[in-house]
Amino acid sequence: MKEDFSMFSKRKDMDAKDYYLSEDGFIVFTEAYHLKRGYCCKSACKHCPYDFKKFEKVRRKD
């Protein structure tokens, strides 16, 4: 039976290579899923192929 994750993703054709469940029961999207999606959501995902760093400090020029 395929699980329904439509509340988390607009993609309806997700397969087993697109996600896994963590030990805590969270859905973790894989790098393959992110590449299929085609853009960075800027949520600092664990397997982000776009190198987004949420807590990266930005130096300001004053």
Q: Where are the domains of the chain?
A: 17-57
Provide the Cα torsion 39, 18, 15, 38; round to 10°. Answer: 10
Residues 4-58 have pLDDT tens digits of 666 666 666 678 899 999 999 888 999 999 998 899 988 888 899 988 876 655 5
pTM above the 0.85 mark? no
DSSP β-bridge partners for residue 28: 20
How far apart, in whole angstroms, are the C-alpha atoms of residue 22 and residue 27? 6
Q: How high is the pLDDT of residue 1?
A: 45
